[in-house]
Amino acid sequence: MDKLPAFPAFPKHLQATTTNFLSVVMARKRLLVFLFVPLVLIALLFSGTVSESEWSQSLGDGFKSGVSYVTGDGRPAGKFNGGGGVTYVSGNSSLGHGTTKFWKSKAYKRPGYELPLADGMPLRIMALGASTTRGDSPEKGIDNNGFRRPLREKLTKIGNPVNFVGTQRLGNMTDNDIEAYPGVPTHRIHFHAKKAVPSRKPNLFLINAGSNDCFQHIDIDNFYKRYDALVQYCLSASPRSTVIVSTILPTWDKRFNGREDVWRVNPQIRRLAKIYQEQGKPVVLAELQGPDGVQDQNLAEDGMHPGTAGYEMMATKMFEAIVEADARGFLQTPEPIMGILDDGDEERKDDLYYAKFEQQQAMENATISAERAEMDRMKAELAAMHVQEQEKQAEKPTTAKNSRRSREHRFPQMHVV
């Protein structure tokens, strides 16, 4: 060991103590170095702070003002909480991809509904079904938002961006995209899904199918096979998706006599949900006919579709199923798709802007066309007027000659001899 220097500035009674302490430190310096280096590496690995170069590698250089960025296990730099090595980018342009970094929720026991699901993950939702999914109802004042509006409000209230997607638009809500058609049985819903899913890649499906199978009495004993084909297609066509399956509503309608078939179809849906759970598939059941679900008295006067209160109940059960999916760790960020934003309302604002722009452009074009037509009319009238003037000018000499001849005839000149 190297000889330690003396400390003349210290009092004598402290020199021995200090020298002994430093001797111990020098003797253990190899052990300290051995322990310190791994601790530094671990701290760097789990730090929520990243350098500018690391940001550019993970997110690119397309930063925009007002955009929230979160990374690592640290606190958020913007709106959403980060966790589990998450890097999140919120897109603001319809030309952008929206969410560009992938993450998946972790299974947990949720204490309540006050926190956003999966660290504020964007939910790109496709509602698949028939008239009940559309929000149809004979109830007076129905707005065809169905369960979508109250469900969207529940999800956005706790901090999740929501964008409903589909090839159809229905309802007076802004984000009103949907994939549902009146009167279609399950195999037709599957047919429409094949046209809509590949270009939109939702990360959450809400399926309510089977009522029309019952009303049309389509091979009820093998209903589960058609339903499974639909679910399996959704999972394969959009691999990051979670599927919420739901039991179908009761009916007391007497025209189609579908009530007994409903009692045969719902057990098949429940058993399929249990099979998917055993297989570990990201599928969760929304039980719409439980004690706190939609009952006969919650149906409208046709005995088939819910009224406003019934749709509110559907929204609550769908919301609870989505929360359960998050608790199981099923939710995954949606695939980036050009032109599809995280927030459907923001996306539709672009539509409104372009619609207004096109309307303004059409008005300007109409004004220009009207102005051109008026100019052409004026030019035509001026040209006609000029022709008339020229004709009048051409007629004047002839008239003068005729006038002189007339005078000569009336008053002949006298010749002096």
Per-residue confidence (pLDDT) for residue 292, from 0 to 100 = 84
Per-residue confidence (pLDDT) for residue 57, from 0 to 100 = 33
Per-residue confidence (pLDDT) for residue 294, from 0 to 100 = 87
Q: 296 pLDDT exceeds 80?
A: yes
Q: What is the pLDDT of residues 23-33, one digit of tens each?
A: 544 445 454 44
Per-residue confidence (pLDDT) for residue 44, from 0 to 100 = 43
Q: 243 pLDDT exceeds 60?
A: yes
- Name which residue leads in pLDDT, 341 or 83: 341
- Name which residue leads in pLDDT, 112 or 218: 218
- The pLDDT of 145-152, averaged and rounded, is 97
Per-residue confidence (pLDDT) for residue 32, from 0 to 100 = 47
- Name which residue leads in pLDDT, 181 or 254: 181
The pLDDT mean for the chain works out to 78
Per-residue confidence (pLDDT) for residue 206, from 0 to 100 = 98
Per-residue confidence (pLDDT) for residue 402, from 0 to 100 = 64
Q: 253 pLDDT exceeds 50?
A: yes
Per-residue confidence (pLDDT) for residue 76, from 0 to 100 = 36
Pick from 65-74, 322-331, 403-412: least confident: 65-74
pTM of the model: 0.63
What's the pLDDT band for 70 if we cut at 50, 70, 90?
Answer: very low
Per-residue confidence (pLDDT) for residue 111, from 0 to 100 = 60
- The pLDDT of 357-371, averaged and rounded, is 85
What's the pLDDT band for 170 if we cut at 50, 70, 90?
Answer: very high
Q: 304 pLDDT exceeds 50?
A: yes
Per-residue confidence (pLDDT) for residue 412, from 0 to 100 = 54
What's the pLDDT band for 340 if we cut at 50, 70, 90?
Answer: very high
Per-residue confidence (pLDDT) for residue 238, from 0 to 100 = 98
Per-residue confidence (pLDDT) for residue 108, from 0 to 100 = 72
What's the pLDDT band for 110 if we cut at 50, 70, 90?
Answer: low
Q: What is the pLDDT of residues 274-293, one digit of tens each?
A: 999 999 999 999 999 888 88
Three-state SS annotation for the chain: CCCCCCCCCCCHHHHHHHHHHHHHHHHCHHHHHHHHHHHHHHHHHHCCCCCHHHHHHHHCCCCCCCCCEECCCCCCCCCCCCCCCCCEECCCCCCCCCCCCCCECCCCCCCCCCCCHHHCCCEEEEEEECHHHHCCCCCCCCCCCCCHHHHHHHHHHCCCCEEECCCEECCCCCCCEEEECCCCCHHHHHHHHHHHCCCCCCCEEEEECCHHHHHCCCCHHHHHHHHHHHHHHHHHHCCCCEEEEECCCCCCCCCCCCHHHHHHHHHHHHHHHHHHHHHCCCEEEECCCCCCCCCHHHECCCCCCECHHHHHHHHHHHHHHHHHHHHCCCCECCCCCCCCCCCHHHHHHHHHHHHHHHHHHHHHHHHHHHHHHHHHHHHHHHHHHHHHHHHHHHHHHHHHHHHHHHHHHHCCCCCCC
